[in-house]
Structure 1
Amino acid sequence: MNDILPEHTPVWQYLEATIKRVVGAYGYSEIRMPIVEQTDLFKRSIGEVTDIVEKEMYTFDDRNGESLTLRPEGTACCVRAGEEHGLLYNQTQRLWYMGPMFRYEKPQKGRYRQFHQVGVEAFGMASADVDAELILLTAELWRQLGMNDAVTLQLNSLGSNEARARYRDALVTYLREHFDALDEDSQRRLDSNPLRVLDSKNEATRVILEQAPVLTDYLDEESARDFAQLREILDAAGIKYEVNPYLVRGLDYYCKTVFEWVTDALGAQGTVCAGGRYDGLVKQLGGKPTPAVGFAMGLERLILLLEAMELVPVSARQTFDVYLAAEHKGIQTAVMLMAEELRRTVPGLRVRTHCAGLKNIATKARQTGAPAIILLKQLDGGELQGSLWCNDETEYDLVPEQLKARLLVLFGA
């Protein structure tokens, strides 16, 4: 699990603010769920034979002997909250959330056991246009972050439960003919979750899969029609994509459309955003049948991508706008009051006061990255005057009102 230090949090805040702005523009409302849920919620939703439930969840008994789990993902939590509070039945909802998730995985760069996700979920809409809306939303986010050329959209359709069952039988029949050549994980999954074999990274298994039945050949009429409508909207919007017949997603609740945004800008190809339709999950968790679709993206991976591509604007790394210090002893009270005045005069202005004596003022001011430095002094008559350093220029002997006016010009709305 990883600390996010003060030098890095401005980048996180920039990314989070951009995400909030984009999801808000599409009419999605924020929901906040608990970090701890009943373990059964994830067993019923994710699937007991998935890697997440089998190997990765942080599960413990509380003092009443009830099994609880730190949430490994957010969709099941969002469905539980929506159903519990009567938000889903015969309604449409567009929701989003952001926060930490927990999985016991092998730590590596950009992947930690506590990680942060943004999830976006749409309930009550069965047509493919809302699937397209979510993809358009993500494409707009990439555009605003400047990384649209670094990510590629992959699409697939898993079809209905019945169509998937027919495909599952065909796939199992084919893979059993090549059982001895499959990797150990794929052999184990053949009985419990054979579609996950399609996601294998083992080279020998990948060769076998090249001749395997293709899921799109088994689609039911409705799923094929929806997939065609989705592609039509994306084509009209100019969104480029690849149809990937091996894309199945790692959670049991997906059906019909699934998608991933992938990048190779961080080395080996990795997923930065993934989602799809899960029309059966609300009923599976005890609610009335409700169509639903959503996606999640990991913030750690996006931060790495922003930094690798040098897409973080200078303003996002700026910690303070003004560094305010006394030029001599005896006027620290005046400095503190002046700082309060500046914050009120220019809303949103970030002011740091120098509270460590008169030593190393310039050095400490530079360490904050503040673009403006004000040194205050008191004249014999008691009046305050200041010197303003900004953009390699210095203005001397400014009274407080002049200082406030200059800061309004520099940083005001």
Structure 2
Amino acid sequence: MSIQKPRGTQDILPGVSEKWQYMEDKARDLCRRFNYKEIRTPIFEHTELYIRGVGETTDIVEKEMYTFMDKGDRSLTLRPEGTAGVVRAYVENKLHGETEINKLYYMGPMFRYERPMAGRYRQLHQFGIEAIGATDPSIDAEVIALGLSFYKEVGLKDVRVEVNSVGTPACREVYKAKLVEFFTPMKDLLCEDCQSRLLRNPMRILDCKKDVELVKGAPTILEYLDEESQTHFDKLLVYLTEMDIPYIVNPSLVRGLDYYTHTAFEYKADGIGAIDTIGGGGRYNGLVGSIGGNDQSGVGLGLGLERTLLILQAQEVELPIAQPLEIYLVAMGDEAEKVAVRLLFQLRQNGHIAEKDYVGRKMKAQLKSADRFNARYVAILGEDELQKGEIIVKTMETGQQVTYRLDEFVNRMKEEI
């Protein structure tokens, strides 16, 4: 019996990996223009980081983390999200002393033990950014704008931005009490998870996919914002309007992580069944302090690359990734093969996409191979050409052939291409 990939993972094969590279290149270019610098953190961290940072009552910590004991009897966890690790690195490496605001981005795999389905994997990939060190709501607007710009630049259509304020810890305590008051009479109707959250973290009930009907009519956080939170939210909406970012205020949006304060937002798009959230983020004043640093405010986002690709496919968006082979070298005979090896290496050093036969096929089979590669040119070197010090170059689209001197071939191809 052959060994297969673990459930909830996928092999990204040639032909698809180029689409990933395209999205990643777009993300890096956007971050360059918005002045975000790349940070790379470990794929596993101490489990305590996620318990303190993400929150004990979140689905991630309670149900989804891949946690294990190492040989030193230390509890480690494969990272389920990116923000906590970035903040840990920010604190540990004292990045707060380098600039007044740190603007960072990351890309890579995350791991969550979820029930696999379209758009939901146990190994998923995210592109994320974090801006640490500023309280101004204009940076919140910038983060939201960067995420929407990413979706537009990879070709995604009809992406919706939903925003909300989850306030400060102080006004959230008042709001949580109101939620407990609202949900207590219907406690027995709530799902098992929400019953356990009722007193511990009732805001998580608003995010439940099972109790959607019961949540209708619940009080909203916007009714209980203090002056600071309301002012921050009002300014955010003004800045989004100034940038022509279309948005919808969703008072029930709370996100699935406990570290958010003030701004919370999500990007929505149709095309993956019941799943419509393709990315999101928010502000996390207090997270840096909870992880052990001198507290700094921060705001960030995480965008799911698998979901982005699935919706691009659903919308039938063709990514401009085709890079046809430029030159295919056909060599006949041992002496010609030796020269072809040298020429192939020189072509590649000059930046050309070049290839040759490696299994000793006849000329007709090699020409068919060049055609399958969609090569622009075929360069033919046989015994006669070798004796004359020449090489034949054929343009595949027109069938036109020219002959070059061997010692001029590489430079002439550089001029042609």
TM-score scaled by structure 2?
Answer: 0.91
One-letter identity of the residue aligned with 1:252: D
SS of 2:91's partner is helix
Alignment of 1:61-100 (within 5 A): 61-88=69-96, 91-100=100-109
| CA RMSD across the alignment | 2.0
8 A contact 2:65–2:78 mirrored in 1: yes
Quick one: which of 43, 47, 69 aligns to 1:35? 43
Is 1:337 equivalent to 2:342 in the alignment? yes
8 A contact 2:267–2:278 mirrored in 1: yes
Is 1:191 equivalent to 2:194 in the alignment? no
8 A contact 2:109–2:126 mirrored in 1: yes
Q: Structure 1 residue 380: deviation in Å?
A: 6.1
Is 1:377 equivalent to 2:382 in the alignment? yes
8 A contact 2:103–2:132 mirrored in 1: yes
Is 1:294 equivalent to 2:300 in the alignment? yes
Q: Could you tell me which runs of 5 or more consecutive residues in structure 1 were left unpaired when the two chains were aligned.
A: none
User: 1:20-63 CA distances to partner (integer Å, 9 max, x unpaired)?
Assistant: 11111100000111111111111111112211111111111111
One-letter identity of the residue aligned with 2:43: I
8 A contact 1:174–1:212 mirrored in 2: yes
Is 1:323 equivalent to 2:331 in the alignment? no
8 A contact 1:10–1:319 mirrored in 2: no
One-letter identity of the residue aligned with 1:130: I
Residues 1:114 and 1:215: Cα distance change in structure 2 (over 3 Å): same
Is 1:245 equivalent to 2:247 in the alignment? no
SS of 1:150's partner is coil
User: 1:351-390 CA distances to partner (integer Å, 9 max, x unpaired)?
Assistant: 2222121242233334434444333334263413122234
User: 1:313-345 CA distances to partner (integer Å, 9 max, x unpaired)?
Assistant: 34x143643322225553111111111222233
Q: CA–CA distance in 1 between the matches of 2:398 and 2:175?
A: 68
Alignment of 1:212-361 (within 5 A): 212-314=218-320, 316-318=321-323, 320-345=325-350, 347=351, 349-359=352-362, 360-361=365-366
One-letter identity of the residue aligned with 2:196: R
Q: Could you tell me which runs of 5 or more consecutive residues in structure 2 were left unpaired when the two chains were aligned.
A: 1-8
- Provide the residue aligned with 1:49 in structure 2: 57
Q: CA–CA distance in 2 between the matches of 1:380 and 1:179?
A: 86
SS of 1:52's partner is helix
Residues 1:221 and 1:373: Cα distance change in structure 2 (over 3 Å): farther
Give the total of aligned pairs. 404
Q: Structure 1 residue 155: deviation in Å?
A: 0.4
Is 1:113 equivalent to 2:119 in the alignment? no
One-letter identity of the residue aligned with 1:405: R
Alignment of 1:128-207 (within 5 A): 128-147=137-156, 149-202=157-210, 205-207=211-213
One-letter identity of the residue aligned with 2:111: F
Quick one: which of 357, 366, 370 aligns to 1:365? 370
8 A contact 1:386–1:403 mirrored in 2: no
Q: CA–CA distance in 2 between the matches of 1:190 and 1:393?
A: 74
One-letter identity of the residue aligned with 1:5: L
8 A contact 2:346–2:410 mirrored in 1: no
Q: Structure 1 residue 265: deviation in Å?
A: 2.7
8 A contact 1:129–1:230 mirrored in 2: yes
SS of 2:272's partner is coil
8 A contact 1:171–1:213 mirrored in 2: yes
8 A contact 1:150–1:265 mirrored in 2: no
Residues 1:342 and 1:127: Cα distance change in structure 2 (over 3 Å): same
User: 1:113-155 CA distances to partner (integer Å, 9 max, x unpaired)?
Assistant: 11111110000010100001111112222222121x3311110
8 A contact 1:318–1:369 mirrored in 2: no
Residues 1:308 and 1:323: Cα distance change in structure 2 (over 3 Å): farther
* Identity value in percent: 39
Q: Structure 1 residue 103: deviation in Å?
A: 1.1
SS of 1:109's partner is coil
8 A contact 1:376–1:387 mirrored in 2: no
One-letter identity of the residue aligned with 1:364: S
Q: CA–CA distance in 1 between the matches of 2:315 and 2:378?
A: 31
Q: CA–CA distance in 2 between the matches of 1:158 and 1:104?
A: 27
SS of 1:64's partner is coil
One-letter identity of the residue aligned with 2:340: V
SS of 1:88's partner is helix
